[in-house]
Amino acid sequence: MKHRLNIKKLVLALVFTISLPGLAKAQGMPVYDNTNFISLAKQLIESAKQTSQLLKTVEFLKQQKENLEKVNNVIKQLKAVRELTKNHQRLYRTVQNDLREILNSPYIKAGEVGRISETFSDIIDNSLESLNYIEQILSSNNLKMGDAERAAILKEKEQQSKEMVAEIEAKVRRYHEIIAFRKMQDAVNHRQTNY
């Protein structure tokens, strides 16, 4: 009987334990796991460090972009100056060689020599003024120009020098045509006839 009584107590305790959680309510303070909070704080600190590093990288990249733009503008200026120099050398060679040939031609009249010389001289003077202006732009900080503005002016002067070269080549071609025409006209007027 004792044994039955123990079994009844055990079954009753088991039934009571199974039905108790439905009626029982938790009371007290919630428990926090400090390891998760510490881990979150560490992640936030690491994220702040990475953000700070990213901001430094962005600033560095902006600075490098500005440096590249400066170098690019300097390269554009150098190319423009090289092109200007090449155009002016062509201009001087053309004037030096062709003008001598034109002026020494027997088919150019004495009155035309002054006009031809003056025309070529005006173009050369304009070229020299242009070169002086370019030298002033490149060497003087008094004008307070940015690299982009300086490059734009150099490009404009480069275009003007190309126009001067084209103008002088057209004049040379025109004078050569005049000489060729007068030479042909002289040959026609002084030909020998055998009748």
Using a cut of 0.85, tell me whether the model's pTM lies above it.
Answer: no
Letter for the amino acid at 182? R
The residue ranges of every structural domain in the chain are 64-189
Contacts of residues 108-112 at CB distance under 8 Å and 24 or more positions apart, as own/partner, are 108/175, 108/178, 108/179
Q: For the segment 48-94, what is each residue's pLDDT rounded down to a tens digit?
A: 999 999 999 999 999 999 888 888 877 887 888 888 888 888 888 88
Which residues, 6+ apart, have CB-to-CB distance to 157 below 8 Å?
80, 84, 130, 133, 134
Is 195 a residue whose pLDDT tops 60? no
Q: For the segment 13-51, what is each residue's pLDDT rounded down to a tens digit?
A: 767 667 665 555 555 566 666 777 788 888 989 999 999
92: left (phi over 0), alpha (psi -120 to 50) or beta: alpha
Is 186 a residue whose pLDDT tops 80? yes
pLDDT confidence of residue 59? 94
Which residues, 6+ apart, have CB-to-CB distance to 176 below 8 Å?
98, 102
